Structure 1
Amino acid sequence: MLRARRAARRWACDVRPKARGAATGPFARGDARVKRWSRRGYTEGPYGQIHYRHEGAVTQIRGAIVLLHQAPMTSAQYDNVLRPLAAQGFHAIAIDMPGFGMSDPVPGVPRVEDWAAVVPSVLDALGYPDAVVLGHHTGAMVATEVGIQFPDRVRAVILNGPMPVSEQERTEFMEGLHQTERTITATDDGTQFNMVHAARTGLAKGTVTLARISEYVVQAFEGQGAYWHGHHAAFQYRHDEKLRRLERPALILTNTGDVIYEHALAAHAIRPDFAFAALEGGGVDVVDQMPEDWVEAVTRYVSGL
């Protein structure tokens, strides 16, 4: 862990924000809803239809970048960065993972490995032989798995908040938060919505507008899968073992205010050969809290490939 901390301080790709810890996107400037920039599409995948939103075109100079959301959210997590990524020359493609948003679910209880299987179908639909694959939190695990399962379709992987956990952490999750999440189901008084709203408000700590918080709650319940599926799959995934198997170029992207920042440092200790970038501040909602810095970090890494 100490080695990873030192690496975080000295890595040349370290990114400093324009305003330390400040939210800079539209969600930090009042309660107006963000303009919906992205186009939408569907394609057939291994479990049914896959929904995605995208900005840019096949003529973009940097090619495709696939964006995989955290759980329990949807591709709408990336609403605030799709257009800025396109402006940097990417065809930005955000996918609803199976069971989330408008994508059909995996039969039974899903695994990270199942979610990874849909990415080639989207690339095929849009005419791409390969792409940079980026994932945030649970999405970072899925991005790792895409790189392992389909290395020929992956130019590079960006792991925004990887999370290798210990067996003790896995057990604590199963005995604690997992049991709570299994209670988040339909109720006669809407308690489930209040529970998620309270959790997301607590994580945002005043850096995200109430309008956007409400959207987070909608995203959490939009899919056909059970609420608990996302984090359950994440904690069952052996990210430490899978990181050792990943053979594609990779960037570990994190931010110092993230609740799993220490896990990102641990991931870099496992793979010190991976590039590393740490934004200063932010939180779980970094793409809304500091979108300009986030897009800059992504663009900077891909420019060097």
Structure 2
Amino acid sequence: MNAISPSHPPYPRRHYADGPFGQVHFQVLGKGVPLVLLHQAPMTSGQFDSGYAPLAERGLMAIGIDMLGFGMSDPAPGVPTVTDFAQVVPAVLDALGIERAALLGHHTGALAANEAAIAFPERITALILNGPLLVSSEDRAKFLAPGGMNDWEQGFRGQEHAAHLVQLFDIRDHMAAGSIGYDRLSDYVVQAMIGRGAFWHGHHAAYMYDQAERLPLITQPTLIFSNTGDEIYPHAEAAHGIRPDFAFAALEGGGVDIVDQQPEAWADIVAGFLNAVGVGALVKA
């Protein structure tokens, strides 16, 4: 077996599980307390590339899942919902022989994590909502309106000289405000394009989900986690208003790419919360 170059961080090991809608791709790094990671849309488990090693160094087994239709995971039939995205979590835990695990989701992944915690309370013992999204009826109407974001995503197609890829690159570059290098921005574009499901499915599922209605149903110890530079940071504050009994943490600055922008500080918050709620007792079945 080839040795990993010391110039690179440890690489997660890639796996597949048989899920309710086909194969589910996931990757794992670390041998400690299991923590499942659900990514934002439209990306893959590669969103957490900069976070795997810091989490493993803090005693966690970081398990990044490609949600349905993203990355190398098979899509659900038809138009998926957040509830569909949540269904893959038990399949991955079963494949690893893990009875219970903590769960973190970011943006769209936070909605799927929210729903998985409700649907499978016996499998999820602690929850981190990293960037919750509280969609109002006005937000949903704007998203679905002619010429809105849903229309743009459903109409997204290949263009001459890969102009569509340049468009995605420029959007992510603008969002990162110079904080992310061009190589990583290029990787974001690749992650957005390699999904086996339709490009628009992730955000459509997110805007059809009412997280404000579902938050009261969570029973696990939960952290609402964000960063002040995230464009949906106010949603985290609003979510904490709905569940003031939940822990709350926010990093300063950053954006939607906080795992790349502040990986060590991000991992400190995650590990600190899990240690505080005692998930060190979680073990393999």
Deviations 1:203-256 (A, max 9, x none): 000000000000000000011111111100000001110111111111000000
The Cα of 1:180 is off from its aligned counterpart by: 1.2
Match of 1:198 in 2: 170
The Cα of 1:187 is off from its aligned counterpart by: 3.0
Q: Which residue of the other structure, out of 254, 263, 268, is the alignment partner of 2:240?
A: 268
Deviations 1:233-291 (A, max 9, x none): 00000111011111111100000000000111111111111100011111000000000
Distance 1:108 1:149 in 2: 21
1:50 aligns with 2:24: yes
1:90 aligns with 2:60: yes
Match of 2:185 in 1: 213
- Deviation beyond 6 Å, 4+ runs, structure 1: none
The amino acid of 1:50's aligned partner reads V
Matches within 5 A, 1:19-168: 35=9, 37-57=11-31, 60=32, 63-168=33-138
The Cα of 1:77 is off from its aligned counterpart by: 0.4
The amino acid of 1:40's aligned partner reads R
The Cα of 1:95 is off from its aligned counterpart by: 0.2
Distance 1:225 1:186 in 2: 15
Where does structure 2 lack aligned partners over 5 or more consecutive residues? 1-6, 278-285
1:290 aligns with 2:262: yes
The Cα of 1:35 is off from its aligned counterpart by: 4.7
Where does structure 1 lack aligned partners over 5 or more consecutive residues? 1-32
Distance 2:70 2:217 in 1: 27
Distance 1:186 1:116 in 2: 30
The Cα of 1:165 is off from its aligned counterpart by: 1.6
Distance 1:254 1:164 in 2: 14
Say whether the 8 Å CA contact 2:28–2:61 is kept in structure 1: yes
Q: SS state of the match for residue 189, structure 2?
A: helix
Distance 1:138 1:87 in 2: 26
Q: SS state of the match for residue 40, structure 1?
A: strand
The range that moved more, 218-227 or 169-178, is 169-178
Distance 1:288 1:276 in 2: 21
The Cα of 1:188 is off from its aligned counterpart by: 3.9
The count of corresponding residues between Structure 1 and Structure 2 is: 269
Q: SS state of the match for residue 181, structure 1?
A: helix
Say whether the 8 Å CA contact 2:14–2:25 is kept in structure 1: yes
The range that moved more, 169-178 or 277-286, is 169-178
Q: Which residue of the other structure, out of 227, 249, 252, is the alignment partner of 1:280?
A: 252
Say whether the 8 Å CA contact 1:185–1:227 is kept in structure 2: no
Say whether the 8 Å CA contact 1:36–1:79 is kept in structure 2: no
Match of 1:30 in 2: none
Distance 2:161 2:183 in 1: 22
The Cα of 1:36 is off from its aligned counterpart by: 6.0
Say whether the 8 Å CA contact 1:55–1:83 is kept in structure 2: yes
Q: SS state of the match for residue 44, structure 1?
A: strand
Counting aligned pairs with the same residue, the percent is: 52
The Cα of 1:34 is off from its aligned counterpart by: 6.2
Deviations 1:79-99 (A, max 9, x none): 111111111111110000010
Q: TM-score, normalised on structure 2? A: 0.92
Say whether the 8 Å CA contact 1:65–1:91 is kept in structure 2: yes
Q: Which residue of the other structure, out of 212, 229, 232, is the alignment partner of 2:204?
A: 232
Deviations 1:140-167 (A, max 9, x none): 0000000000000001110000011211
The amino acid of 1:56's aligned partner reads G
Deviations 1:77-123 (A, max 9, x none): 00111111111111110000010000000011110000100100100
Distance 2:135 2:96 in 1: 35
1:242 aligns with 2:227: no
Q: SS state of the match for residue 81, structure 1?
A: helix
Distance 1:159 1:89 in 2: 20
